[in-house]
Structure 1
Amino acid sequence: MQHKQISLLFSFSMCVLILRLATAQNTSNTITKAANITKPGCPRKCGNLTVPYPFGIGSGCALDPVFEIQCTVTTPFIHDSEVYDISDSEIRIRNYVGRSCYSSEGTLLLLDDSPLMELGDTDPYSFSDLNKLTVVGCDDLSFLSGSNFAIGCGSFCTDNSSHAVIEGTCKDGVGCCQLEIRKGIKYFETTIESRNNHTGVSSFNPCGYVFLGEASRFHFRGLKDLNDTNFVERIKHNVPIVLDWTIGNLTCVQAQKRKEYACLVNSQCVDSHTDIGGYRCRCNPGYEGNPYIRPGCQDIDECADSSTNMCEQNCINTPGNFTCSCLKGYTGDGKKNGRGCIAPNSNSEFPWIKFSIGMGVSFISLVVGAILLYFCIKKRKLIKSREKFFQQNGGLLLKQQISSIKGGVEATKIFTVDELKKATNNYASDRILGHGGNGIVYKGILPDKSIVAIKKSKYVDENQVEQFINEVIILTQVNHRNVVRLFGCCLEAEVPLLVYEYVSHGTLFEHIHNQNGAPWLSLQNRLRIASETASSLAYLHSSASMPIIHRDVKSTNILLDDVYTAKVADFGASRLVPLEQTHVATLVQGTLGYLDPEYLHTGQLTDRSDVYSFGVVLAELLTGMKPILRGTSDEDKCLVEYFVSSMKNNSLFQILDDRVVREGGIEQLQEIGELIKSCLHLHGEDRPTMKEVSMELESLRKFTSPWTNADGHEDQNEV
């Protein structure tokens, strides 16, 4: 597909792009409420935008040149970029939208440049996780890549019908698709392409769009957006890109030791909690003003403000607070929302004491009774809720399946919610093992002291419950030493929880890309890891009771136990293949760099898709390179293309890891290279089966050669 890109390079040593929210409620009071918010002698506003210090209009009016903006008549600009709004932690910039339009015959009529934005590495700005990648269209696919990450989002209309498009939702990928980005990234670029050039849908959707913007500000209007000729301008002016800003790149502890520390009197320092560091200043409770400009934050006189004066009679203002008192002869705490001030009473106090005691006892009895009733009702609701979730998540179907399988009770255990809460210490943060695309994995300790991994899913598709239960049954019966075993599940929660075998030594990705290199990762161990992984995938494809396609084979999904044995994990994206079928049609899912290009363009998932992904892992093992390579010109390159090109140019040994070249024989390494190349064929039918790959790897592990390698060293292969 023809494609252009526009580069909006944000060098924040010179400028900062700032955008405005539509409502005043979303701006911060911390640096805008007090009268003195700008540097003396500097403009306060440009048009409708108030510019608080540390930002400033023009030279010398900001804390640092990175916070300077220019005002053209009534419109604020920074290097031709319009300024909209500033808050105490975020800035918002005007959006940019990528677009491609087609005729009814599929001819490309218009291709607007797709956004590419880069923030300065040393400047304290990053893209906020309030933004999401959004794709709007009925035949469009977009990728967003940045520093060490990449995501893809596809938006399609099933059966080429406009009736499936639903207003207000972007979750299903029908007409609209949205994906989250991680906090703290400094660079991103997008691409947009069409699978069928909008043929069949151009009558109600001639164009596809892609943009990164604040998710809460975008409302998908269904068919109105798909056929809106003014869509680009609407997004540009209504859906901003949000940037997080900080002062410098030091933490609060580090900055407080410096002479240029920016937080003034009666304010506190707040760390930014992003990878780039930095801090911001905030007025202490009971104070208001601008914490960056003298005289700093000032005490709020709560007594003078009728909206904050909570005293019935006497109000005494104190620094950062206030106190209430009653006139002489009155009793009470003097607060309007407390006991107030009680007038003196000439009658004997004894009846009042008895009355108070009686009322107190009655009240306590009533409260105790209400609490007991509340907990009884709550417990009953909890039981009903768990029963509802159990049935909703396919619990009855699972029990029926277990009873029909010999030995099923031992193979598939149904855990309770309380068991898994206790095992994970109520899902404590220190028990988190990792975050995946489909959920969070916790470390759990069962009553018998056995350690397990508990996966808590993010969501469940109610229409796929039967398939989910079938997959649980199949996976619990998978018995292979190189596959992470599924012990059972819990269906009483809102989303199912899966209990897996615990694997202790992290992922293969971490060991390959360890900065100092893993000492144990010799050529023979690399081939052993590859052989064990291939053996497990071959087993899933051909030896399981129903063939299983993993669909997300990558080095982060290959775990290593305490003796560095490989175990394939994370079957959240896996699919079962009925025995009479060779493929299944699914919504494209996988990881960029490992994803089978044939599957990406056809949506037809086969076992050869796993072969392609495994070929990428094998190339990663032999070269020590990541699937997406960051080039010297800041352009991302694909390891697959780099590897295949090296094979064609007879330069394989130049890209292999130095240790691999030292320990491997020439013939052995060339054979491995040819195996990887065969796995990476564009057409699945040209790739070997996983079983053939496994057999070839076993042969290569035992391969020895009397010849020396390319560097003149003798072979050091281990048999």
Structure 2
Amino acid sequence: MAFSGKLLQPLPVLGVLIVLILVATVASIPNSTCNRMCGEVEIPYPFGTSDGCYLDSTFLITCNNTFHPPKPSLGSDLFVQDISVLDGELRVWNPVASLCKVLKKGACVERSVYSKCYADQEPISISVNYSTGNSSSFKLSNIFRISNKRNKITAVGCGVYSFIQGSVEQNGFTTGCLSLCNSNASDVVNGSCSGIGCCQTSIPKGATEFDLSVRSLSEYNTKTLGIGECAYGFIVDEKAYNFSSSDFEALKHRETVPLVLDWAVGYETCEDAKKNKDSYACKATHSYCYNSNNGPGYRCNCSDGYKGNPYLPGGPDSCQDINECISKPCAGNATCNNTDGNYKCTCLHGFEGDGRMPPGIGCRPKLESQSRIIPIALGISIGLLVLLLGSSLVYWILQKRKLIKLKEKWFQQNGGLMLQQRLPNQIGSMETKVFSTEELEKATDNYNKSRVLGQGGYGVVYKGILSDDRVVAIKKSKIGDQSQIEQFINEVIVLTQINHRNVVKLLGCCLETEVPMLVYEFITNGTLSDHLHDKSRSSLLSWDKRLKIATESAGALAYLHFEASMPIIHRDVKTANILLDENHTAKVSDFGASRLVPLDQTQLTTLVQGTLGYLDPEYFHTSHLTEKSDVYSFGVVLAELLTGKKVISLDRPESERNLATYFVSMVKDDRLAEVLDDNIQNGSHIEELKKVANVAKRCLSVKGDDRPSMKEVAVELDGLRVQGKKARKEANVNTEEREYFLHPSTHSLSIDVGVGYSSTSTIDSMGNQVLKPTDDGR
């Protein structure tokens, strides 16, 4: 049973970090006898541990002497690790929330209110709430904000995600991250929180209140955690936390992690604060004020050339002059003299200049001796120039040779020789071209950012214009796998042989780069996802067009599965990978995740890849890839065409967040009309819509064996489309006849009794019915 730990209830420690401030009307001047140490932590002004030692009550630090050594804290439980006056930061210990699954509830020790254990079928909820207001334990004013620059929202575990929901200036927001790993966590990389075993994301700036939640990826009792395994959620100083696979176990015994708070004085800007000299906190003579960049208030700092505490009006701890001469900033033939807030370099006798080290000009001989130096300097300069030009020329030649050798190395490494050997055997069936790097650099204007068409998990796609004025799409991959070169070459050859009107044509490749690049035909009208989720464009996407797109896409996938020389599983079917031309003709694209299936195999075992929301659950849990995985993803596409909704949305109620499961449940409950896109709600299409919805439901079966093949789906959709067109044409003919008899005076007396419509739909094979263009322009 999957776990679900949702952090929504108030937390008495971290739920107090942001509250309204009452600014003191007169800034305190600290007592000289104040104790500035609490245990091993220094407590600098404006903070203090006793009356007369802090700026105002919002800067009070409690020194808890029950510990040995004593510990400083904000309130009773939020212990302070260190305080920085220069950076305006305060670091505290923040609790780790953990949720562990056990066989029996009593088999796990819950260390604190942030640690929970649960068994199967037992509802559980843990909460860490960061909100404005007072906690039951202590109060904090909003001089404190959780630093959005230093801290990260972190989730550690397998098949879990952590997110926060809150508000910034009364506007709601949701953000978070997803952590996945395989069954034995062998893909986890130590030191990386990129989403495998550990994920991190940023906190929005200026957030005043939010809830942190940790949940399982599955909502339907799918086992994402084994017995005794835990998930963890916390906000942490990213510099203080380095993920390791051992954290799955080690975090069970760790109760806190460091958290950085930003602090500021009051809630006024510098301009307003300076109007009241008594309450203005920047007391040092050589200090300046700057506004807080995370919430209201301001902070102080010492002027350039000074260091110390800008909140103190005087004394050795206030802003004091820095003796820059200690760092030897002057040239060797100059002496250094320290001045108030600065320093001065004086050149020795016979020299002139500012005496400073670069970027200063240093010291040079005076003019009377320059008449002899100029010819010598000129000769040396010319010699150095010739030497520099000669060296540059030699370096350029060597670099060019090195680049040529590197291109040759990459060409061979990427299977160029293998491709050249196989190309002569393929000349009769394809037009493959091996492009040079120079051709593609020229086509993309040296990969100019303005030419970027899109970016994804497999690379960047650029718009290119070849020398023959053909417009193409050039895919530049991010990573390469040298162990898969022979398979890559096979895929290039097979994909270039695909000649289907609904599959984007692969024109060639470039092998002279570290990672091979692919060149495809350019499709002009964007993706199906763009059309469905843009209100101005979705209204133009009628049901006839949507059914046409679905039928053509299904035919293309059926072709890849059953008619290609070697079956191809796309593995990333989604609306973003279905392109549309100016006639709304569908083109299946992006074969970056595709896999060739040997003719003697029905399934492959691979590392799970795909897009969340479209991913086949059976493939996700078994890593066994079959052509039925594409069928499931296509079922999600059909649901998206019918509803116009995004496949995953945290803005929808929890039961509706996953479109696939929500759509299936609505169809089973005979409530299809409630989820249909308003743009296709038409009584004349209702039977077609129900039939397509049932096709989608079958495609979305949890077990692959219960799903139809893409060939069956394509035939069924094509049949529905043909029947619909026939019914609508007959309806139009009947309408014309009724109009004639009702208004006979407006018609000619010569009647053509042969007017009618004839449609014969026979399905001899996939090649005749599904995979070839029909006469109606599909």
2:517 paired residue among 467, 492, 497: 497
User: TM-score, structure 1 length as denominator?
Assistant: 0.72
1:341 and 2:363 are equivalent in the alignment: yes
Q: Aligned pair 1:609/2:636, yes or no? A: no
2:456 and 2:274 mapped to 1: Cα distance?
41
Which region of structure 1 is more displaced relative to structure 2, 40-49 or 632-641? Answer: 40-49
Give the distance between the partners of 1:635 and 1:245, measured in 2 at CA: 40
Distance 1:489-1:108 versus aligned 2 partners, 3 A rule: farther
Equivalent residue, structure 2, for 1:352? 373
The residue matched to 2:491 in structure 1 has which SS? Answer: helix
Query: In the alignment, residue 616 of structure 1 is paired with which amino acid?
Result: V
Correspondence for 1:652: 672
What CA distance in whole angstroms lies between the structure 1 residues aligned with 2:48 and 2:447? 46
State the Cα distance separating 1:599 from its structure 2 match: 1.2
After TM superposition, list the pairs within 5 Å mapping 1:496-575 onto structure 2. 496-516=516-536, 518-575=538-595
Q: Deviations over 1:203-242 (max 9, x none)?
A: xxx74655576777555666x667x5x44335x656x678
Verify the 8 A CA contact 2:608 2:620 in the aligned structure 1.
yes
Aligned CA distance change for structure 1 residues 242 and 322 (closer, same or farther; 3 Å):
same
Could you give the per-residue CA deviations for residues 600-624 of structure 1, whole angstroms, max 9, x where no partner exists?
Answer: 1221111111111111111111112
Say if 2:432 is the partner of 1:405.
no
Per the TM alignment, residue 577 of structure 1 is displaced from its structure 2 partner at its CA by: 0.9
- Matched with 1:307 is 327
| Segment drifting more, 662-671 vs 1-10 | 1-10
Superposed, 1:468-483 pairs within 5 Å as: 468-483=488-503
Q: Distance in 2 between matches of 1:62 and 1:391?
A: 71
Distance in 2 between the 1:584 and 1:71 partners? 62
Confirm or deny that 1:387 pairs with 2:408.
Answer: yes
Q: Which sections of structure 1, spanning at least 5 residues, go unmatched?
A: 18-37, 159-163, 249-254, 707-717
Q: Go from structure 1 to structure 2 and tell me whether the alpha carbon gap of 1:120 and 1:439 turns closer, same or farther (over 3 Å shift).
A: farther
User: What is the alpha-carbon distance in structure 2 between the residues aligned to residue 456 and residue 89 of structure 1?
Assistant: 44
* 2:708 maps to which of 688, 707, 713: 688
Q: Which has the larger radius of gyration?
A: 2
Q: CA deviation at 1:631?
A: 5.9
User: What residue number does 1:32 align with?
Assistant: none
Shift of 1:316: 9.0
Question: Could you tell me which residue of structure 2 aligns to residue 153 of structure 1?
Answer: 180
State how far apart, in whole Å, the 2-side matches of 1:270 and 1:414 are: 57
Is contact 1:97-1:232 (8 Å) kept?
Answer: no
Q: Which amino acid aligns with 1:648?
A: K
Q: Which amino acid aligns with 2:573?
A: V
Q: Answer whether contact 1:116 1:189 (CA < 8 A) is retained.
A: no
Distance 1:638 1:376, change over 3 A: same
Give, in whole Å, the separation in 2 of the partners of 1:390 and 1:47.
64
TM-fit CA distance, 1:363: 1.8
Measured against aligned partners, the alpha-carbon deviations of 1:639-696 in whole angstroms (never above 9, x if no partner) come to 2222222222221111112222226433222212211111111111111111211122
Distance 1:142 1:679 in 2: 26
TM-score (normalised: structure 2)? 0.68
What is the deviation of 1:585?
Answer: 0.9
Q: Secondary structure at the match of 1:665?
A: helix
> Taking structure 1 as reference, are residues 342 and 128 closer, same or farther at Cα in structure 2, changes over 3 Å only?
closer
Matched, 1:419 2:439: yes
Matched, 1:141 2:159: yes
1:377 correspondence with 2:395: no
What pairs with 1:633-652 in structure 2 (closer than 5 Å)? 637-652=657-672
Give, as a single letter, the amino acid of the residue that structure 1 aligns with 2:609: Q
Whether the 8 Å contact between 2:642 and 2:676 is mirrored in structure 1 is yes
- Shift of the alpha carbon at 1:578? 0.9
Post-superposition CA distance 1:345-399 (Å, at most 9, x none): 98x6544333222222222222222222222222222222222322333322222
How far apart, in 1, do the equivalents of 2:490 and 2:531 lie?
34
1:309-353: CA deviation from partner (whole Å, max 9, x where unpaired): 34664779999987756367522442234653246698x654433
- 1:5 corresponds in structure 2 to 5
Distance 1:400 1:6, change over 3 A: same
Residue by residue over 1:534-560, the C-alpha shift from the partner in whole angstroms, topping out at 9 and shown as x without a partner, is 121111111212111111112222222
- Render the CA deviation track for 1:426-478: whole Å, top value 9, x for unaligned: 33333322221122222223333333222222211222222222222222222
* Paired residue secondary structure (2:501): coil
Give, as a single letter, the amino acid of the residue that structure 1 aligns with 2:483: N
- Asked whether the 8 Å contact 1:102–1:197 carries over to 2, the reply is no
Q: How does 1:208-219 map to 2 (within 5 A)?
A: 209=231
Task: Give me the whole-angstrom Cα distance separating, in 2, the residues matched to 1:291 and 1:422.
Answer: 58
> What are the ranges of 5 or more consecutive residues in structure 2 without an aligned counterpart?
19-25, 65-70, 110-115, 119-123, 133-141, 165-173, 729-775
Aligned length: 650
Instruction: Look up the SS of the partner of 1:452 in the other structure.
Output: strand
Could you say if the C-alpha distance between residues 309 and 349 of structure 1 is closer, same or farther in structure 2, counting changes exceeding 3 Å?
A: closer
Percent identity of equivalent pairs? 39
Answer yes or no: is 1:330 the counterpart of 2:351. Answer: yes
Check conservation: 1:3, 1:111, Cα contact below 8 A.
Answer: no
Shifted more, 510-519 versus 467-476: the winner is: 510-519
SS of equivalent residue, structure 1 residue 483: coil
**Does the CA-based 8 Å contact 2:155-2:198 persist in structure 1?**
yes
> C-alpha separation between the residues in 1 aligned to 2:296 and 2:544?
45
1:83-122 to 2 correspondences below 5 Å: 94=94, 96=96, 98=98, 100=100, 111=117
Instruction: Give the residue type in structure 1 aligned to 2:159.
Output: L
1:714 corresponds to which residue? none
Could you tell me how far apart the structure 1 residues matched to 2:376 and 2:299 are? Answer: 52
Deviation at 1:257, TM superposition (A): 12
Partner of 1:191: 216
CA RMSD of aligned residues (A): 5.4
Structure 1: distance between partners of 2:708 and 2:265: 55
Matched, 1:667 2:694: no
**In 2, are the aligned partners of 1:266 and 1:287 still within 8 Å (CA)?**
no
2:511 is aligned with 1:484: no
